[in-house]
Structure 1
């Protein structure tokens, strides 16, 4: 989870981390990790507002990638903005690069025109509210992560899992679409820098390295899963039946630039590529 990686990075930098907990069990887990806990639920805007009033800055890293969760994300975000109004406190919101849609060969920068995939269209209005809140004394910053990988998590593991189960890693579409990626720990570094240095109403892409064709990522997942690089096409229409709009996100061809964060915040991603990450999952030879 992005939130877990960000929490670890902030704590390592000396910040006191307070996590939102929906239950006593979740609060206990946070305490075991060395964090404070405050009870609240993203589906309960009043509890969110109450939780954020007692902290110095807010990181919202639980932003959903589907329209079904859009309503509570919008309500929670606006509750946070209302609670922070006039305080000049920082609020980091996790958006995403799906807002750019298919980019073609020209890397999408933070100033690119948006052409969002339908499943994340709701984020346009949320981003506008966050940027507009600067006039009301809220120091909002928007992070748009690219495809996140690391820690045996995220969408890449779907391909890894299919290779383990079926002997070939399945990729959506023809595999020539490109993903721009970011390791979750590099992304956490960006959140720390944004928390400490980013101007109000700014936007930063969390993206690093060359865009990689999906079929190459699938081959690496297959190698890591012990399937010797075997891959199989999952036709887009069939994938939509199983994954809904998320299938179109997987098949989207994107080249995204993270240069602004490197230039303006001093972000220096250093972790290995997604291809090396997936290949490293292979068990050691006997």
Structure 2
């Protein structure tokens, strides 16, 4: 397929780009700057320089491809409006063709839960509450094959959210310890970025219209377990120091509030589609020094 990919130079998007190329698909990558386009040159990828909020430009691009995969984010306080503009433009461009449109959500929309599935109630924290007005209507959009992938905490190659734990500040004085996010008892759902990319490719090729998949590998460590592993690798003997929820939120705002949620999930629906995560767990990656060196 000829795929329009947003976020191709980002963390998840770059892994999806690699997977698409390895799978024999051709790619037009939407990038924001000429510098980003330069990074893609020589990779058999066509770069289209523009903004995801330019509706006419996005619609024109979508009209020329067989599928759209959206992994980009604006990285500012206008995410909701940008997502709405891009989504409407893609749907208009794909028209009544049945072509696939894969969007990236996130498991945080389900709030706290010990056995989260795609059918769980959505109790989104403020950080991602705007997604409620986007995800379900887009999945129900007629004329296209709409798919939503909701990743957990993506990791791999030393990047991503785990660095907030593994590279955290250290307490001063005798017996220095790694400072945790809150008490550290919250579970995080996790997924290696390369396994996650494989799910996108599988969904592109096989997932039915209106389907949602949690992108999680079933490994749900606590923030304390992650911190203790990082503490050992950093020579602190596994010592960790909790902070209050209020202190975490004061440091990180609404994002910190979201990171204090305890979530567990297995990603069973994705496995039923044929997805098999094979990469090392996040604990394995930390123990190997990927997140501390």
TM-score (norm 2): 0.88
Please report how far the alpha carbon of residue 260 of structure 1 lies from its aligned counterpart in structure 2 after TM superposition. Answer: 0.7
Instruction: Assess if the C-alpha contact under 8 Å between 1:164 and 1:225 holds in 2.
Output: no
Aligned to 1:124: 132
Instruction: Assess if the C-alpha contact under 8 Å between 2:219 and 2:281 holds in 1.
Output: no
SS at 1:144 equivalent: strand
Instruction: Assess if the C-alpha contact under 8 Å between 2:16 and 2:197 holds in 1.
Output: yes
Aligned to 1:37: 47
* Matching of residue 218 in structure 1 with residue 224 in structure 2: no
Aligned to 1:192: 201
* Matching of residue 60 in structure 1 with residue 60 in structure 2: no
Please report how far the alpha carbon of residue 282 of structure 1 lies from its aligned counterpart in structure 2 after TM superposition. Answer: 6.3
* Higher deviation after alignment, 66-75 or 91-100: 66-75
Aligned to 2:167: 161
SS at 1:271 equivalent: coil
* Higher deviation after alignment, 228-237 or 21-30: 228-237
Q: Deviations over 1:225-270 (max 9, x none)?
A: 444323222322122222111101111011123011101x110001
Instruction: Assess if the C-alpha contact under 8 Å between 2:202 and 2:275 holds in 1.
Output: yes
Instruction: Assess if the C-alpha contact under 8 Å between 1:183 and 1:271 holds in 2.
Output: yes
Cα distance in 1 for partners of 2:78, 2:243 equals 24
Of residues 93, 110, 120, the one that matches 1:112 is 120
Q: Kindly tell me: are residues 232 and 50 of structure 1, through their superposed partners in 2, closer, same or farther at Cα, counting changes over 3 Å?
A: farther
Of residues 158, 172, 182, the one that matches 2:181 is 172
SS at 2:249 equivalent: helix
Of residues 275, 281, 288, the one that matches 1:267 is 275
SS at 1:267 equivalent: coil
**Which structure has greater helix proportion?**
1
Give the root-mean-square deviation of aligned CA atoms. 2.2
Q: Deviations over 1:143-165 (max 9, x none)?
A: 01011111111111122222589
Please report how far the alpha carbon of residue 47 of structure 1 lies from its aligned counterpart in structure 2 after TM superposition. Answer: 2.3
Aligned to 2:97: 87
Aligned to 1:15: 25
TM-score (norm 1): 0.90
Cα distance in 1 for partners of 2:87, 2:242 equals 38
Instruction: Assess if the C-alpha contact under 8 Å between 2:165 and 2:181 holds in 1.
Output: no
Aligned to 1:145: 151
Cα distance in 2 for partners of 1:282, 1:256 equals 24
Q: Kindly tell me: are residues 226 and 81 of structure 1, through their superposed partners in 2, closer, same or farther at Cα, counting changes over 3 Å?
A: farther
Aligned to 1:205: 214
* Higher deviation after alignment, 119-128 or 30-39: 30-39
For these two proteins, the number of residue pairs brought into alignment is 279
